[in-house]
Amino acid sequence: MTDKIALITGSNKGIGLEVARGLGRKGMTVLVGARSAERGEAAAETLRGEGLQTEFLGLDVTDPDSIAEAAARVEERYGRLDVLVNNAGIAKGDGDGNTSELTLATAKEVFEVNVFGVMAVTNAFLPLLRKSEAARIVNVSSEVGSMATITSSNSPILGHQPGAYGTSKAALNMLTVSYSLEFRGTTTKVNAVTPGFTATDLNGHRGVREASDAAQVAIDMALIGEDGPSGEFRSDGRIEYLEGETVPW
């Protein structure tokens, strides 16, 4: 697996950094995608210090020029991409978090990263992913975007208003399905994963899971073989209120 190239967006910290570390430990060359050159370079240097093949790749998922430049750099240096993990995401709300208080400006900002950013990055890198013998695309979603989960009487998040974040993740789930249908019958596999409620900057470190544990499901789905799933929503099977590894849409 030492010749495989993986790009993880938003991987200078948190879950993304742990995904980068995990794939690096599997022998992949890992591209640490991040907006900040300072933080991205620091993260890549940390991983290189652990003996991993890692390179910083400047990438702002909301900036078309940044995306195009990143894709051109990967094409020039590596000629292809084997794994894309769309991890970059934000969560914002207004007022007390009620949907009725959500402004269009906030909703658009969240969707710009969590949905349109994923689409823009994926489409820009598809020519390179198509050059892989067996490309893997993993979209980091959330069970808050699962309509079945958030309305289940057994769920501790019953009654929680998903707001812009949950709505964007539901849209991301459908985007995942859409890509998987496009690549049905090919060696390319596209899946969504939920890391669970993880202590990261996204939620002010209120989460109950460690980033190193939460990242494992994305790592696993990036490594699936030819008999692995595509067009599915997965967890690591250790989130108490989710039954098993397959998460309902």
Q: Which residues are catalytic?
A: 165, 169
Find tokens 């250790």 and name the residue: 238
Instruction: Provide the total of helices (H) and of strands (E) in the chain, helices listed first.
Output: 9, 7
Which amino acid is it at 24? Answer: G
Which two tokens mark 130?
């198509």
CA separation for the pair 54, 30 (Å, rounded) = 5
The three-state DSSP-derived secondary structure of 32-78 is EEECCHHHHHHHHHHHHHCCCCEEEEECCCCCHHHHHHHHHHHHHHC
* 110 in Cβ contact with 116 (< 8 Å): no
